Amino acid sequence: MTIQEMAAACGWRLLAGEEGTGAQVEGCYIGDLLSWVMARAISGNVWLTVMGNVNAIAVAALTDVAGIVLCEDAALDEAARARAELQGIPVYTCPANLYETALQVAGQLHG
């Protein structure tokens, strides 16, 4: 399933990085401590966080995650939006908390 398909099914709203919305989602990682995420998230994960800064975009690029979902309507700052667009990293937003969003992802991946 692509991150764009998952976003449509879950009701997420795209904030940046439309170019990368064809990325395949194969799992999920949840975390806000960037160094921790950098060491543990893997390619194909959708990353659930509230960190909407340029450093989060750098971590997403390093780990090759399918995209970022900013839960609880967390903000994406302008520098991060511009970097996500430049690097084609999809960043979505949703009002649900991390747990509820993780359940949505699991439901989509595992039916």
Q: Is residue 79 predicted with pLDDT exceeding 90?
A: yes
- What φ, ψ does residue 78 adopt, rounded to 5°? -65, -40
The answer to whether residues 29 and 51 touch, using CB atoms and an 8 Å cutoff, is no
Partners of 28 in the β-ladder: 46
Q: Is residue 111 predicted with pLDDT exceeding 90?
A: no
Q: What is the pTM of this model?
A: 0.97
* 32 vs 2: CA distance, rounded Å: 23
Cβ count near 109 (within 10 Å): 14
Q: Which residue ranges make up each domain of the chain?
A: 3-110
State pLDDT tens for residues 13-60.
999 999 999 999 999 999 999 999 999 999 999 999 999 999 999 999
Fold of 3-110: 3.40.1390
Tokens, residue 43: 């390619």
